Amino acid sequence: MKATIWHNPRCSKSREALAILHEAGAEVTVVEYLKTPPSRDELARLYARAGMTPREGLRTAEDAAKTLKDASDDAILDAMAADPILIERPLVETEKGVVLGRPPEKVREIL
Please identify which of the residues 9, 11, 50, 94 carries the catalytic annotation.
11
Q: Is the peptide bond before 90 cis (omega within 30 degrees of 0)?
A: yes
Q: Is 47 a catalytic residue?
A: no
Residue 17 DSSP label: H
**Helix/strand number for the chain, H first, E second:** 4, 4
Active site residues: 11
